Amino acid sequence: MEPVTRRPPLISLIILCVMVCLSACSTDTTTTPPPSDTPEFGASATAEDPTDIPSRTPVNRPTVTPHIYCDDVPESFLIVAERGRVTRTDGDETLNLRSGPGTDYNILVQIEPLETFYVVDGVQCSGGYAWFQINYKGRIGWIAEGDEDQYYAEPFLTG
C-alpha cells in the first residue's frame, strides 16, 4: 500500500478559488438580453409610451443640380442660389436684364459693370447663349452669361 500524500491546505484553497472564478466567468448568455436596435432610456421606455422614444430630426441636405451644357456656348460658371456680377468688358458695356431667356424678350434694365446680382435659376439654352434668371435689386429677369469671345457675368463668391 502506497502512502497517501496530502496537499497542504493553502493549495486546496487556491484550487477551490480558481474553480469558483471559472464557474462565475461562464460564457453562457442565457441571462443576458439580446442587443436591440432601439436604444432604451431608463426603465420607463416602452412601446406604449412613445414620448420616451427619441425621434430623428430631419437634416436639410443640399441637392446637387446636374450641370447643363448648351451646344456651341462656352461652359457656364454662374451658380444657382449664389451671387454673381457683371464683368468688366473692353467698352465697359452694360448687361441687359430681359423678361425671358432670349434676345427677343424685352429689356427690363441695363446692369452696369461690376454690379452684383443673385442667381435665381438657370441654365436655359436659347439663341446661342446660356441664360440665367437673376434678381437684380428686386427686379427678376434673365441675362446671357456670355458668348465665344467673352463672359458678360461671373460668379461673385464673397466667403
The pLDDT profile of the chain, 159 residues, written as one tens digit per residue, is 555 555 556 666 677 666 666 666 655 555 556 665 655 555 554 555 656 666 666 666 665 555 667 888 888 999 999 999 999 876 778 999 999 999 999 999 999 999 999 999 989 999 999 999 999 999 999 999 998 888 999 999 876
Grid cell in block for residue 114: 461690376
Decide if 93 is inside a domain: yes
User: Phi-psi bin for 149: left (phi > 0), alpha (psi -120 to 50), beta?
Assistant: alpha
Kindly state whether residue 22 falls inside one of the protein's structural domains. no
Q: Is residue 138 part of a domain?
A: yes
| Segments forming the whole domain that contains residue 115 | 83-155
Measure the CA–CA gap between 98 and 144, rounded to whole angstroms. 9
pLDDT for 132 equals: 97
- Measured in degrees and rounded to the nearest 5, phi and psi for residue 80 equal -65, 140
Judge whether 101 lies within some domain: yes
**Sign of the four-CA dihedral 65, 66, 72, 73:** positive
- Read off the pTM: 0.58
Which secondary structure element, helix H or strand E, spans residue 126, and what is its range? strand 116-126
Number of domain units in the chain: 1
At residue 10, φ and ψ (nearest 5 deg) are -65, -40
Kindly report the CATH number assigned to the domain that includes residue 97.
2.30.30.40
Task: Tell me the DSSP string of 69-100.
Answer: --TTSPPP---TTSEEEEPP-TT---EEEESS
Residue 19 phi/psi, 5° resolution?
-65, -40
d(CA 64, CA 76): 16
Residue 114 included in any domain: yes
